Amino acid sequence: MKKQVIANFKMNMTPSEIKNYIISLAPNFKSEKVDITLALPFVALSLGKFLLSGTNIFVGAQNLSEEESGTFTGETSGAMLKDIGVQSVIVGHSERRSKFKETGRAINKKIKIALKNRLQVILCVGETLTDKNSMKTLSVLSGQIDEALKGLYENELENILIAYEPVWAIGTGKVATSKEIEEGVKAIRKSIEHSFSKKAGDEIGVLYGGSINAKNISQIISCKGVNGVLVGGACLDCANFMHIISACEASK
């Protein structure tokens, strides 16, 4: 699998700012070695698709509704995302789990709707500091994965990436050590193996996210079992993000 570099813009930058960002980024990106996805705010998705047509940079959404359509004011459906050409969607980000009270059941419904609409899923999982301090990291990761992937067929995993994002590392400047990342990634693969097969556990794409920056990217991308990264704050500066992409291109 090519290394995956995914930028999660979260609720940052207006469409006009994103337009300038893409105009700076797109001409500089020539590599065939990594897949880049910009996970943009909903209001910038169509613009992003338009500006990135003819490049090999993908556009992703940061969320979708757990319902297919209907009386859900303010929601955005999987079919709507597909219709405007969005290729992937982040599901189960810890900010949505904690700030929007998103449950494992809702995450499971969202994943099924995304897959039905042929959107690639970037499923986020990760433990809180309390979980970590009480040695619950591995059980939390497997619990979140089991809930999220309940009822899925093994062949559907082809369209799923799992991002290991320890909650205590998101936006805090605290990066997990290589050992912690490798243990988390291993636990994720074991959990997939347990629910599906050894082959599925070996082959699923696993990313790391949490306080990634231009300085620590080389260490993170070289961790065993890591197929890519999900970058938050550090992607907002185009030059910084280009540096992160270059480090991923350079990694073996």
Rule CB under 6 A: which residues touch ligand 13P? 8, 93, 165, 170-171, 209-212, 230-234
Which residue is closest to ligand 13P by CB?
Answer: 232
Q: Clarify whether 66 is annotated catalytic.
A: no
Minimum separation from the CB atom of position 165 to ligand 13P (A)? 6
Q: How far is residue 49's CA from residue 73's CA, in Å, rounded to a whole number?
A: 24
Minimum separation from the CB atom of position 214 to ligand 13P (A)? 12
Out of 66, 95, 102, 165, pick the active-site residue.
165
Cβ distance to ligand 13P smaller for residue 201 or 232:
232
Q: Clarify whether 165 is annotated catalytic.
A: yes
Cβ distance to ligand 13P smaller for residue 216 or 222:
216
Q: How far is residue 199's CA from residue 202's CA, in Å, rounded to a whole number?
A: 5
Q: 141 by DSSP, 3-state: which?
A: helix
Cβ distance to ligand 13P smaller for residue 102 or 165:
165
DSSP H helical segments within the chain, as ranges?
A: 15-25, 45-52, 78-83, 94-99, 104-116, 129-133, 137-148, 178-195, 198-203, 217-221, 238-250
Minimum separation from the CB atom of position 153 to ligand 13P (A)? 27
Asked whether the beta carbons of 24 and 32 are under 8 A apart, the reply is no
Provide the annotated active-site residues: 93, 165
